[in-house]
Structure 1
Amino acid sequence: MSGVLDHVMIRTEDLDASLEWYQTHLDYEEKDRHEGDGFTIVYLGPEEMHEEGAMLEITANHDDSDLEMGDAWGHIAVRVPEDELESSYQQLMDEGVEDYRDPESCGGRYAFVKDPDGHEVEIVKRDHGAKWSIDHTMIRVEDADDALGYWTRKFEYEHTGRWESDTFANYFMKPEGSSEEAMAVELTYNYDGRSYTMGDAWGHLCVRIDDLHDDWDQLMVREAPDYRDPADCDDMYAFTKDQDGHEIELIERDPDADSLFPF
């Protein structure tokens, strides 16, 4: 069982402000929207998306509650062409985006901004994928061996890159044989033994699978946590968790369906 990452979900306190930010500064367009009982979900992404590209899901609850960012989730990263890091960052500054970590402070290799809710957005140089498309989502893990084993055994992901320093290591994981345009999960492991708080400003990663029930059963054989099985979700999707508690949704996609949502 293997599937590409379909989307990453974040929560916002102000849906209109969040949508305006991503649509104005990253040129995202609304792909679909669902109005639920007490919440709204919006899928966003570049106009031209690769078939294995990942979307951003923004969820707004209608109860006006404050969101806690936590530190178990790190950032999403978006792509710009190799020679456009500085100009793309300057474009964002000219548009009024807050100056958080400019390219010079990051050694000219990447940069960071924040969205209106404080979610960190990394800008990375890539020679593939549409500009501003999602390259990876970073999560922090407390045991690198456990995290690597989880993604390898449960989802059949493989290493696509790593970077190690004196104090931490980053491991990038994607399905075997996936395209360059597919989103990776970046596992960040700090060597000092720290623990993390999950918060609620980040929601989940979502893996796009072929058969909800068969793939769920395979995950159970592989001893993935039984968090919300298909029956608990009206047989429309399901949720497991990784070894640190990051939620992972499983969903099928029908390319002929009128909506991206299974509701």
Structure 2
Amino acid sequence: MDGTLDHVMLRVADLNDSLEWYETHLDYEEKDRHEGDGFTIVYLGPEDMHEDGAMLELTHNEGDDDLDVGDGWGHIAVRVPEGELEDAYQQLMDDGVEDYRDPESCGGRYAFVKDPDGHEIEIVQRDQGARWSLDHTMIRIEDADEALGFWTRKFEYEHTSRWEADSFSNYFMKPADAAPEEMSVELTYNYDGRSYDMGDAWGHLCVRVDDLEEDWDQLLTREAADYRDPESNDNMYAFTEDQDGHEIELLERDPSADSLFPF
């Protein structure tokens, strides 16, 4: 299994507003688009993103303009170079982005803004990857041992770092031998035993596979959830779920194809 995190999908109420926001404030460009029956999917990312860097997928469903962000998904994080956090945040403020959590309120280590649909976007300082490229996606989990076991056993991910606080822990997971520029998964575990609501504004994470059918069979052998198998999706992609119900797409990516979509 390849294991590279290919993209993270967010649902948006107004596609044009969202595209303008990401293209204006994060300098994203449209990589590809698919117009379906009642929905549109757009892939976005920095112009000079790494070949294994993750894309942002925005999905708009016609007539679906009342989205619930929920709290089972947390945020996406984007990168700026070390030492440029405050300047980057101030530039966003100057450009009209709403002030949400500034660097000072976050101890000078990171900051947060929100996109037009209320998706939280963390700004982190990294010396790798294109400016504004996706650094990680945070999801909230109810059992840390089960979640860590899921990603290590099912997808052969490695536990690359963690942060232990008084009331929560953060665990970062990546494929073995992943490039520094690749996106990681941040698993957030709160010690108070709370449960979470998925909502419908967050969509899924997508993991690249080498062979969809073979890797799907391997996941089932490893007792992954049989959620939406390849056959039910015309053998173009498949979906499993983690122990908390976060959806994970499996997709073969052909770099030489004319389209980023398997349609």
Category of TM-score, reference length = shorter chain: over 0.9
The Cα shift of 1:165 comes to 0.6
**Do the aligned residues in 1 keep the contact of 2:14 with 2:65 (CA within 8 Å)?**
no
The Cα shift of 1:2 comes to 4.2
1:256 corresponds to which residue?
256
Q: Which amino acid aligns with 1:6?
A: D
Secondary structure in structure 2 of the residue aligned to 1:13: coil
2:95 corresponds to which residue?
95
1:137 corresponds to which residue?
137
2:115 corresponds to which residue?
115
The question of 1:164 aligning with 2:146 is answered no
CA distance in 1, matches of 2:62, 2:95: 29
**Do the aligned residues in 2 keep the contact of 1:206 with 1:251 (CA within 8 Å)?**
yes
1:175 corresponds to which residue?
175
The Cα shift of 1:49 comes to 1.3
Structure 1: 5+ residue stretches without partners: none
Structure 1 segments (4+ residues) deviating >6 Å: none
**Do the aligned residues in 1 keep the contact of 2:205 with 2:248 (CA within 8 Å)?**
yes
CA distance in 2, matches of 1:135, 1:187: 14
1:246 corresponds to which residue?
246
CA distance in 2, matches of 1:215, 1:180: 24
CA distance in 2, matches of 1:216, 1:51: 24
**Do the aligned residues in 1 keep the contact of 2:161 with 2:173 (CA within 8 Å)?**
yes
Residues 1-263 of structure 1: pairs in structure 2 closer than 5 A: 1-263=1-263
**Do the aligned residues in 2 keep the contact of 1:135 with 1:183 (CA within 8 Å)?**
yes
The Cα shift of 1:80 comes to 0.2
CA distance in 2, matches of 1:70, 1:150: 22
Q: Which amino acid aligns with 2:158?
A: E
CA distance in 2, matches of 1:253, 1:193: 38
Which digits, 9 at most, give the CA deviation of each residue in 1:88-145, with x for residues without a partner? 0000000000000000000000000000000000000001110000000000000000
**Do the aligned residues in 2 keep the contact of 1:2 with 1:157 (CA within 8 Å)?**
no
Which digits, 9 at most, give the CA deviation of each residue in 1:189-226, with x for residues without a partner? 00000000000000000001111011001000000000
The Cα shift of 1:64 comes to 3.3
CA distance in 2, matches of 1:117, 1:100: 14
**Structure 1 length as normaliser, TM-score?**
0.99
Q: Which amino acid aligns with 1:84?
A: E
Q: Which amino acid aligns with 1:178?
A: A
Aligned length: 263
**Structure 2 length as normaliser, TM-score?**
0.99
**Do the aligned residues in 1 keep the contact of 2:12 with 2:65 (CA within 8 Å)?**
no
The Cα shift of 1:146 comes to 0.2
Q: Which amino acid aligns with 2:69?
A: M
Q: Which amino acid aligns with 1:137?
A: T
CA distance in 2, matches of 1:32, 1:52: 16
- Root-mean-square deviation (CA), in Å? 0.6
Secondary structure in structure 2 of the residue aligned to 1:93: helix
Secondary structure in structure 2 of the residue aligned to 1:18: helix
Q: Which amino acid aligns with 1:108?
A: G
